[in-house]
Amino acid sequence: MLTIWVHPLGLAAVTRVLSGIQPSGELNLGTYLGALRRFSQGSGDDDSYFCIVDLHAVTVPQEPAQLRARTLSTAALYLASGLDPETATIFVQSHVPEHTELGWLMECTASFGELSRMTQFKEKSDGREFVSAALFTYPALMAADILLYNADRVPVGDDQKQHLELARDLAIRFNSRYGAVFTVPEPDIPRTAARVMDLQEPTRKMSKSVESPQGTVLMLDPPADIERKFKRAVTDAESEVRFDPSAKPGVSNLLSILGAATGHDPASLAGTYSQYGPLKADTAAAVIALLGPIQERYAALMADPGHLTDILAKGASRAREVAAPTLERARTAVGLLPR
Ligand code: TYM
């Protein structure tokens, strides 16, 4: 049950939390440490909404059967990572049609210029033969995801910072044009492992596109694969273990991962190692210890897909209870005739 602490001035102090992950590939260690792990680490009083953003995934071509399977598998990973469907609302974005409708109003609020400045659009469209219009307007839909729930806090990795800034700007612009409708959200970016890097190319983010399978640790990788990937992780020609992300990206990435997995500060961990080998072995062991229990829970959850779809159906109807009134307020504020 949600406990609501009432501020002396009458303001409820419950924090609304929202975040989402695309079911566009297999979830990796970066997604877990940068975002998913922190979904279940809020205060017990948070009112939380976590969606699987399938409409964002289809901004680039997806194989339909694989998209369906990955959407369900992402839901299972949410639960296996510690989200409790009794206290958090877990749902699929496309099951709540309010997202696309508010997305349209956000497209009307965002300018062409600001969408053109999104670095993720530039990265994702670069070299593609077909670039959908939706890939360009994607950040407006993401703003709608957040603003529909009047989220106060949005746990994300560092690569989503610019999108969050835009969501804030759109909330402020909309409110100033039409009156106070939306809460201006705050990004919540972790101190450690905000940008987990590829183990083979440590100057590039570990990503779902998995152009580098040996550099990407998947959440469902068996322990032997995790060990091998860390053992072969690219470091540098020196031998000093030092936390210095620009001069020593490979070693610093290992220290960040170890730090995030064990709850220690990466810079102070550096002092406890004099060679790369033991650092790699300890990082692999810490990641295996972290992911092992999640993998076990995942297997149990995937054995009962009916239970997962029930949770998602309940989640969608709970999400709509919050999303529908916000959309209605936004529609009215803009001057759309009531339906
Ligand atoms: P997505 O699906 O690419 O990634 C999901 C979350 O994981 C984080 N992340 C990482 N963190 C650290 N190191 C990495 N290598 C790494 N890779 C991924 C991302 O920062 C993200 O938090 N646009 C979003 C999805 C989205 C969303 C939202 C997020 C849609 N609507 C509303 C928050 C709120 C995305 O593509 O994330």
For residue 219, the model assigns a pLDDT of: 98
> Does pLDDT of 7 surpass 50?
no
Indicate whether residue 37 lines ligand 1 (CB < 6 A): no
Indicate whether residue 21 lines ligand 1 (CB < 6 A): yes
Residue 316 to residues 96, 105, 320, Cα–Cα distance (Å): 6, 21, 6
Residue 323 to residues 99, 151, 328, Cα–Cα distance (Å): 8, 11, 9
pLDDT band at 13 (very low <50, low <70, confident <90, very high): confident
CB 146 within 8 A of CB 102: no
- Name residue 60's beta-bridge partners: none
Nearest atom in ligand 1 to the alpha carbon of residue 18 is 34
Q: Residue 242 has which token pair?
A: 């030092």
Ligand 1 centroid from CA 154, angstroms: 11
Nearest atom in ligand 1 to the alpha carbon of residue 193 is 12
66 contact partners, CB below 8 Å, separation of at least 6: none
3-state helix, strand and coil shares in percent for the chain, rounded to the nearest 5? 55, 10, 35
Indicate whether residue 35 lines ligand 1 (CB < 6 A): yes
Nearest atom in ligand 1 to the alpha carbon of residue 53 is 30
Give the separation between CA 64 and CA 75, rounded to whole angstroms.
17
Ligand 1 centroid from CA 272, angstroms: 32
Q: Which amino acid is at 82?
A: G
Q: Which of 29, 53, 201, 209 to mutate to test the pocket of ligand 1 (most atoms within 8 A of CB)?
A: 53
Give ∠ CA 23-25-30 in degrees, rounded to 5: 95
> Does pLDDT of 5 surpass 80?
no
Ligand 1 centroid from CA 33, angstroms: 11
- Region 269-275 average pLDDT: 97
Give ∠ CA 84-85-90 in degrees, rounded to 5: 115
- Region 270-286 average pLDDT: 97
Ligand 1 centroid from CA 155, angstroms: 9
For residue 151, the model assigns a pLDDT of: 98
Active site residues: 124, 205, 208
pLDDT band at 222 (very low <50, low <70, confident <90, very high): very high
Q: Residue 80 has which token pair?
A: 């296996």
Q: Which of 21, 26, 99, 135 to mutate to test the pocket of ligand 1 (most atoms within 8 A of CB)?
A: 21
Helices 276-302 and 64-80: crossing angle in degrees, nearest 10, is 110
Percent of the chain with pLDDT over 70: 96
> Does pLDDT of 2 surpass 80?
no
pLDDT tens-digit readout, 117-161: 999 999 999 999 999 999 999 999 999 999 999 999 999 999 999
Q: Give the sign of the dihedral formed by CA 108, CA 112, CA 117, CA 118.
A: positive
Give the separation between CA 39 and CA 17, rounded to whole angstroms.
9
Q: Residue holding tokens 């699987």?
A: 52
pLDDT band at 12 (very low <50, low <70, confident <90, very high): low
Indicate whether residue 196 lines ligand 1 (CB < 6 A): yes
Q: Exposure of 161 by Cβ count < 10 A (0-12 exposed, 13-18 middle, 19+ buried)? A: middle
Residue 195 to residues 156, 192, 245, Cα–Cα distance (Å): 10, 8, 11
Higher-pLDDT residue of 2, 219: 219
Q: Which of 108, 138, 110 is nearest to 334 (CA)?
A: 108
> Does pLDDT of 204 surpass 90?
yes
For residue 209, the model assigns a pLDDT of: 67
For residue 211, the model assigns a pLDDT of: 74
Q: Which of 48, 120, 147, 160 to mutate to test the pocket of ligand 1 (most atoms within 8 A of CB)?
A: 160
Indicate whether residue 145 lines ligand 1 (CB < 6 A): yes
Q: Residue 118 has which token pair?
A: 């999104």
pLDDT band at 64 (very low <50, low <70, confident <90, very high): very high
- Region 259-281 average pLDDT: 97
Indicate whether residue 146 lines ligand 1 (CB < 6 A): yes
- pLDDT averaged over the chain? 95
Q: Exposure of 51 by Cβ count < 10 A (0-12 exposed, 13-18 middle, 19+ buried)? A: buried
Ligand 1 centroid from CA 334, angstroms: 30
pLDDT tens-digit readout, 297-320: 999 999 999 999 999 999 999 999
Indicate whether residue 189 lines ligand 1 (CB < 6 A): no
Indicate whether residue 154 lines ligand 1 (CB < 6 A): yes
Give the separation between CA 138 and CA 24, rounded to whole angstroms.
14
> Does pLDDT of 252 surpass 60?
yes
For residue 11, the model assigns a pLDDT of: 52
Ligand 1 centroid from CA 289, angstroms: 23
Higher-pLDDT residue of 141, 26: 141
pLDDT tens-digit readout, 108-124: 999 999 999 999 999 99
Give the separation between CA 184 and CA 99, rounded to whole angstroms.
17
Q: Residue 50 has which token pair?
A: 């976590």
Give the separation between CA 36 and CA 258, rounded to whole angstroms.
17
- Region 225-231 average pLDDT: 98
